Amino acid sequence: RITGGIILFFIIFISTTAIPKVRRRFHNTFEYIHRYVGWTCLVILIIHVVFLQLDKFDSFNTKALFNIPVLILLAIVIIIFLPWICVRKVLVQYDQPSNDLTIITFPRALYPYGSTTRISLDGHEWHAFAIALTDSYADQHSILVAAVGDWTKDLAADYRSNKLPQHVWIRRIKGLGFMYSIHAYRKVLIVCTGSGIAPALPYIKDPLPTTHTHLLWIAKKHEQNYGEYVWKLVQKTHPHYTLHDTTVNGRPSPQLVENVFWRTSSEAVFVVSNEKFTIEVVNALWRKDIPCFGALFDS
């Protein structure tokens, strides 16, 4: 009962700090609490199960060692430690087409469309990014890092001052983002703002044979800010893309997305943008019975 009460208290504590308003305001604190309190719960559970088994242990046999509590604990430990077992330190390359965008290139290229990767510069603070580009000939993949938060702004500044490490930590196990659901449709409109173009690039570079995609890219001075390679890659999809330059046309409304949706006869819309615009577009289109999906930000 004591162990259960302690773990329950910690879970409630973690859940409280995960409330969106609290999490956004004290994001770094939340991450530390989530990480270290979570590990503490696991250690308490291990100690509890070990002592529980010692009390019942009277002779050495398989049944005594591998009962249900032990097997459940073993499964929990494996699930938690598996991603960490697959952590590797790899040599990377950096490029910065503009002050607001940094491109990081890693070894290995065999990852499915819609994959995400987690990276860390120090092995402690981890960040997830969509895999934007893959090169099977050079056996490498790249991510686009926009300078929008504290960590990403520091990364961009460190690149300019030549302070970035040559090796970074990555997790070999790659997850699948919401963009992977594009495979469920035959015609899809992908709406990207700024560096949100990253998850869409695999579908632009190597279009799916079963899904036709049209790109609506909303950004500021596309070619100037995102580099020649990304710009030429998008241009290759002509006429299956629409550009909206915010320096010329201003901030768009959901009506723009709806207009492009009907014009392209798409079946669904996938939005890769900031939280405010994503929610705005998704809600506006669903009210009109248009299937529209966006990333989950509180994840």
Q: What is the pLDDT of residue 204?
A: 79
Better-scored residue on pLDDT, 167 or 239: 167
Share of the chain above pLDDT 90, in %: 23
Residue 239 has pLDDT above 80, yes or no: no
Beta sheet of 292-294, edge-to-edge order = 241-245, 212-219, 187-193, 268-272, 292-294
Q: Is 81 a residue whose pLDDT tops 50? A: yes
Cα–Cα distance measured from residue 199 to residue 184, given in angstroms and rounded to the nearest whole number:
16
Is residue 190 a contact partner of residue 214, using CB atoms and an 8 Å limit?
A: yes
Which tens digits make up the pLDDT trace of 243-275?
999 999 889 999 999 999 999 999 999 999 888
- Beta strands 167-171 and 101-107 are unpaired
Ranges 101-115, 165-179, 191-205, 254-268, most confident: 254-268
Distances (CA, A) of 187 to 209, 258, 270: 11, 15, 11
Give mean pLDDT, residues 216-220.
Answer: 91
Q: Would you give the distance in Å from CA 243 to the centre of its chain? A: 24
**pLDDT digits 0-9 by tens, 97-152:** 878 788 888 887 657 667 888 899 888 888 888 888 777 677 788 888 888 777 88
Amino acid, single-letter form, for residue 115: S
32, pLDDT greater than 70: yes
Q: Under CATH, to which class is 87-176 assigned?
A: mainly beta
What is the overall mean pLDDT for the chain? Answer: 84
Give the whole-number percent of the chain exceeding pLDDT 70: 92
What is the pLDDT at residue 256?
94
Domain range summary for the chain, segments of one domain joined by +: 2-85, 87-176, 183-294
* Residue 176 contacts residue 202 (beta carbons within 8 Å): no
pLDDT at 82: 84
* Strand, helix or coil for residue 76: helix
140-146 vs 101-107, strand pairing mode: antiparallel
Alpha helices in the chain (DSSP H): 2-17, 20-25, 27-56, 62-65, 68-85, 150-160, 201-205, 222-235, 246-249, 254-264, 275-286
Residue 299 binned pLDDT confidence (cut-offs 50, 70, 90): very low
Residue scoring higher pLDDT (223 or 187): 187
Q: How confident is the model at residue 217 (pLDDT cuts 50, 70, 90)?
A: very high
184 φ, ψ to 5°?
-80, -5
Residue 167 Cα distances to 41, 123, 147, angstroms: 32, 11, 20
With bands split at pLDDT 50, 70 and 90, how would you rate the model's confidence at 60?
A: low
Query: What is the pTM assigned to this prediction?
Result: 0.75
Q: What pLDDT does residue 25 have?
A: 83
Of 153 and 114, the structure prediction assigns the larger pLDDT to 153
- The residue-averaged pLDDT of 278-290 equals 93
Give the position of tokens 């991510």.
143
- Interacting residues of 297 by C-beta distance below 8 A, sequence separation 6+: 275, 278
The pLDDT of 64-91, averaged and rounded, is 83
CATH number (3.40.50.80, 1.10.3720.10, 3.90.1170.50, 3.30.70.1380) of 183-294 reads: 3.40.50.80
Helix/strand/coil for 236: coil
Q: What CA–CA distance (Å, rounded) separates 153 from 165?
A: 16
Instruction: Count other Cβ atoms within 10 Å, centred on residue 171.
Output: 20
Q: State the pLDDT confidence band at 56, using cuts at 50, 70 and 90.
A: low
- Amino acid 61: pLDDT: 58
Query: CA-CA distance, 208 to 127, in Å (whole number)?
Result: 28
